[in-house]
């Protein structure tokens, strides 16, 4: 029976232990955030190489996870890309497998810690905090990275100190607990629950490695907890798939199934061949010093994930078919409209979200261009067959403008200062594109109105409008190229065309009123003609704004 003093010591040690875990998780979050922001271009290049090659998929998954130090973040990002229709299930599955390999790096780093390494990390923590006071964004980011990395080892040191795991009372308590729950399946359940609670298999594995290093947790029991941690990390992906489409749910199911199968295989191996497995790890890392004890757990974690990936990689297509059988496609019903390339789950990866935003705007641009062509075709031929297509496209354009604007507001709070400028230009481009789409719809309505009244433009008026229309479409192509490819070369031409259209508006308006005065033009046609000329001039204004957004993103106005 413990005395009151011992109980207080035990409570103090447990609080100290929880503080260590908390510092460790904070460090992990800082490190992950800093790596996400600083490695944006690297992730873009990796994701740009997505293909149907399963080996490159594993490499991409491992690479991205190694960069951002979070398999959960990678899986959430993949679910977002699948939900946005950018990635197929066949492409996503190897990436999820690779993510499990990438996450083992944290365990290796934790296992390598020693007194000298710890001192270096403490200095890194202090240096990182000091760098946070600088004004330069890159210095602040480097400081966040240093402090995050340092705090991981500060947390580990707190956990392994005499006040925590080093306290004999705590050691006896955990030994008593593990004497009761030494059954492999119970240990796996402990790993699942602990990882699900802290939402990080890296953190859970780090705690287990530290417990083995301090002698609190025997190696043969730690292996099963590590296996459970790999299942527990799937909880984040499962939660992220809630409310997503069927394919996104399938990604989460594949992630869960992959880890369950791997855990089942290794549970059987470790359970049946426990002694040979322990002896193999001990012979690979001999000695009873903390680093050797810790490296055994870390090595097992690496072996588990690499072997599971190697075993299941040939069965990617079977895993995809299995997920499709379990999660059926919903019947085609009226569902809520969603963006094509962007998903809120991508907010966890700002560089990727920014890349996908541009794709969404490119898609919106293509719809605007299509509507402009369709309305001018109707104007030229006097036909009304394009009305439904124009209306459907306009609905998507309006929705994209509204939904993407809301997404950019959320994204702007997570990006670096340099990317805020890009987001500012996207706000302007979205607004200008939406207005061009509105004008396209107005042009079609002009055709509808004239058709209903049985009137048409004179031959001279048609020729004038055609000339103005051709210049407008030339501007559209230049502004589209400028936005798509950041091409500044044709911007002076764009500005010149806009000036020419302004002059044409003045000339055409004057000549139109002259024709009215001379009786050469019907008064019924006048409002339609004026609306067309004014509309084309306003479209030109919006197009020049879009083109010049790449050189003046803040105001998105013509400026050289």
Q: How many CA atoms lie within 13 A of 183 on its CB side?
A: 5
For 474-516, the three-class secondary structure string (H helix, E strand, C coil) is HHHHHHHHHHHHCCCCCHHHHHHHHHHHHHHHHHHHHHHHHHH
Question: Is the torsion defined by CA of 403, 407, 410, 416 positive or negative?
Answer: negative
Query: In sequence order, which ranges of 313-386 are alpha helices (DSSP H)?
Result: 316-326, 350-381
Query: In sequence order, which ranges of 233-349 are alpha helices (DSSP H)?
Result: 234-240, 246-272, 274-284, 290-312, 316-326
The whole-number pLDDT of residue 523 equals: 76
CA 487 from centre of chain: 26
pTM over 0.75: no
Rounded CA separation 62/100 (Å): 7
The whole-number pLDDT of residue 496 equals: 92
The whole-number pLDDT of residue 49 equals: 61
Tally Cβ neighbours within 10 Å of residue 51.
11
φ and ψ of 469, to 5 deg: -65, -40
The whole-number pLDDT of residue 87 equals: 75
Residues in Cβ contact with 465 at an 8 Å cutoff, skipping those fewer than 6 apart: 379, 457, 508, 529, 532, 533, 536
Residue numbers in the chain where pLDDT is lower than 50: 332-335, 554-560
pLDDT in tens, 80-119: 777 766 678 888 889 889 888 888 887 787 777 666 777 8
Rounded CA separation 294/110 (Å): 8
Q: Which domains does the chain have, with CATH numbers?
A: 4-326 (no CATH), 344-548 (1.20.58.220)
Tally Cβ neighbours within 10 Å of residue 421.
13
Rounded CA separation 483/496 (Å): 18
């Amino acid at each position: 029976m413990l005395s009151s003093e011992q109980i207080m010591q035990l409570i103090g040690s447990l609080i100290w232990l929880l503080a260590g875990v908390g510092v460790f998780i904070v460090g992990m979050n800082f490190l992950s955030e800093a790596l996400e922001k600083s490695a944006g271009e690297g992730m873009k290049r990796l994701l740009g190489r997505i293909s149907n090659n399963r080996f490159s998929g594993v490499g991409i998954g491992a690479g991205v996870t190694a960069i951002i130090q979070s398999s959960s973040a990678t899986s959430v990002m993949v679910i977002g890309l699948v939900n946005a229709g950018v990635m197929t299930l066949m492409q996503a599955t190897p990436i999820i497998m690779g993510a499990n390999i990438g996450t083992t790096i944290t365990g290796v780093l934790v296992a390598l810690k020693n007194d000298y390494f710890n001192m270096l990390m403490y200095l890194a923590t202090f240096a990182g905090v000091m760098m946070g006071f600088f004004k330069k964004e890159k210095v602040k980011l480097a400081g966040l990275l240093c402090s995050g990395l340092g705090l991981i080892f500060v947390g580990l040191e707190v956990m392994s100190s005499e006040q925590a795991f080093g306290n004999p009372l705590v050691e006896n308590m955990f030994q008593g607990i593990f004497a009761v729950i030494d059954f492999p399946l119970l240990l796996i359940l402990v790993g699942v629950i602990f990882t699900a609670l802290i939402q990080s298999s890296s953190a859970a594995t780090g705690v287990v490695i530290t417990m083995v290093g301090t002698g609190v947790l025997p190696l043969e029991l730690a292996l099963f907890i590590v296996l459970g941690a790999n299942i527990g990390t799937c909880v984040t992906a499962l939660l992220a798939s809630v409310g997503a489409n069927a394919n996104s749910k399938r990604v989460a199911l594949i992630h869960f199934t992959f880890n369950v199968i791997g855990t089942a295989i290794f549970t059987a191996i470790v359970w049946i061949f426990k002694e040979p497995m322990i002896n193999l790890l001990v012979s690979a890392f001999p000695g009873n010093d903390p680093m050797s004890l810790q490296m055994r757990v870390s090595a097992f974690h690496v072996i588990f994930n690499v072997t599971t990936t190697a075993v299941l990689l040939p069965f990617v297509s079977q895993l995809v078919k299995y997920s499709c059988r379990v999660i059926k496609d919903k019947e085609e019903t009226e569902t809520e409209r969603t963006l094509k390339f962007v998903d809120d789950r991508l907010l966890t990866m700002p560089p990727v979200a920014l890349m996908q935003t541009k794709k969404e705007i490119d898609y919106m641009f293509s719809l605007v261009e299509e509507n402009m062509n369709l309305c001018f075709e109707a104007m030229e031929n006097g036909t009304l067959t394009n009305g439904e297509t124009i209306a459907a496209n306009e609905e998507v354009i309006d929705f994209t403008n509204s939904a993407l604007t809301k997404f950019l507001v959320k994204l702007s709070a997570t990006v670096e200062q340099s990317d805020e400028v890009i987001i500012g230009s996207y706000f302007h481009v979205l607004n200008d594109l939406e207005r061009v789409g509105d004008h396209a719809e107005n042009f079609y309505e002009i055709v509808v109105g004239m058709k209903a009244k049985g009137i048409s433009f004179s031959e001279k008026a048609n020729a004038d409008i055609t000339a103005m229309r051709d210049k407008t479409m030339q501007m559209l192509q230049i502004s589209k190229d400028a936005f798509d490819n950041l091409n500044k070369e044709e911007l002076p031409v764009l500005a010149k065309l806009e000036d020419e259209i302004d002059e044409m508006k003045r000339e055409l308006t004057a000549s139109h009123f002259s024709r009215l005065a001379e009786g050469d033009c019907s008064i019924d046609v006048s409002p339609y003609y004026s609306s067309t000329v004014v509309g084309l001039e306003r479209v030109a204004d919006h197009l020049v704004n879009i083109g010049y957004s790449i050189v003046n993103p803040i105001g998105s106005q013509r400026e050289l």
